[in-house]
Amino acid sequence: MILQITMAAGLGIIFYAGLSSGDVWKEFYQYFRESRFIHVMSIDFSLLSAFAPFWIYNDMTARKWYDKGSWLLLLSVIPFLGPALYLLLRPSIPTVPALSSPTSTEEK
């Protein structure tokens, strides 16, 4: 439920940014140049979005989901939407029994 709310909020933010006028984007660029916080956060978001396909592929491999979710790997290039959609549609991790290791009680 929380993931769906987060995805809806993200879609709202993306929709709002897409409908913004040029004056709003000029103001963002001014803040980007003047505020270190906005500058770093924007670069951080860009880098994390650029690495999203790698982490999604890593997760797909761990879940052994090779054939059916390959289109989601291509969609993960779209910032926020691709990874959020992958999180909604991915299967659960197959359960593997844990191997019990021997305790430190060795015979002498």
Alpha-carbon span 53 to 55, nearest angstrom: 6
Span 79-91, pLDDT tens digits:
888 888 888 888 8
> What single-letter DSSP state applies at residue 68?
T
The residue whose two tokens read 């929709």 is 15
| pLDDT band, residue 99 (cuts 50/70/90) | low
Question: pTM value?
Answer: 0.64
Span 49-72, pLDDT tens digits:
899 999 988 988 888 887 777 788
Taking the alpha carbons at both ends of the chain, their separation in whole angstroms is: 56
